[in-house]
Amino acid sequence: MDCDDARVLMHGHLDGELDLAADLEVQRHIEECPRCVSEYAALRAMRTRLRDEEFRFEVPPALREKIRHAIPASPRSRPAPQRSGAYQAQRGPWIPRAIRFALPMAIGAMLALIIAPHTTGPSVDQRLAGEVVASHVRSLMATHLMDVASTDQHTVKPWFNGKLDFSPPVTDFAKDGFPLMGGRLDYIDGRPVAALVYQHGKHVINVFMWPGAGATTGAERIETEHGYNVEQLIVVGMNCWLVSDLNRQELDKFAGLLRARG
């Protein structure tokens, strides 16, 4: 297989649409060819980006109007056509009435599909809040709360070295009643993240961190999701999500400690 073939087939390979033999051949070429491997990586990255909800947009009213104008008007608003040869030559082929009605409906349905996910689907923040709560619950249920169990920030912080492409800030707040318990690797928003585990009384607090301000402008907020309190903030440039069954006031106090450090 040469590069030209590989480039055509790698789309099918990515979407799992090839038969086994072709699939293996493309796979082998990609693995061996430095040019195609980068092409394939770019393709895969693009597909991931396109799935991002940030890329969905609402159809501007002007465009919606344009499409509406492009649709043939309903037959009632036009004089009844005279079915003469001259008329047909002048007006082009006669469009069956059913199609003239179906076309606007089809376009309407298409617009609804484009608009609906944006207006009725969860926002990026809502989705992330759901993800961090799910991770929090999983960490408590699966006896996989910590990969590194230590109250020593100088043990926990270096533990992340080489496991993540960033170094999360780790501070013990034992003096303030929020002792560090440890940390683990987790997976949020399609990427590996640091999860720090703190304790307050009998409550566990998971702090998920990854670089970048994320989808929001960094506005701090606290909300309740499935009975858990979730707070989002930015700490030293890290997107930071706190989840706990701790009450809002106490979680907010803990967020204040994190913020003060940054």
Footprint on this chain of Zn ion (rule: CB under 5 A): 3, 6, 33, 35-36
Taking the least distance from each CB to Zn ion, the nearer of 33 and 103 is 33
Residue 12 C-beta: closest distance to Zn ion, Å: 16
Tokens 């349905």 correspond to 109
Strand 221-225 relative to strand 228-235: parallel, antiparallel, unpaired? antiparallel
Tell me the C-alpha distance between 183 and 47, whole Å. Answer: 32
CA distance between the termini of the chain: 54
Residue 118 structure tokens: 């944006």
| Amino acid identity, position 185 | L
Smallest gap, in angstroms, from Cβ of residue 37 to Zn ion? 8
Q: In the complex with Zn ion, which residue's Cβ is closer, 3 or 24?
A: 3
- DSSP secondary structure string, 146-166? -SEE-S-HHHHHHHTBTTBSS
Report, in Å, the least distance between residue 49 CB and Zn ion: 23
Closest to Zn ion by CB, 6 vs 148, is 6
Compute the least distance from the CB of residue 20 to Zn ion, in Å.
20
Query: Which residue from 33, 38, 31 is spatially nearest to 2, judged by alpha carbons?
Result: 33
Closest contact distance (angstroms) between CB of 47 and Zn ion is 19
Please say which residue, 36 or 255, places its beta carbon nearer to Zn ion.
36
Nearest Cα residue to 147 out of 171, 163, 134, 133: 163
Q: Which is nearer to Zn ion, 6 or 246 (CB)?
A: 6
Question: How far apart are alpha carbons 235 and 4 in whole angstroms?
Answer: 47
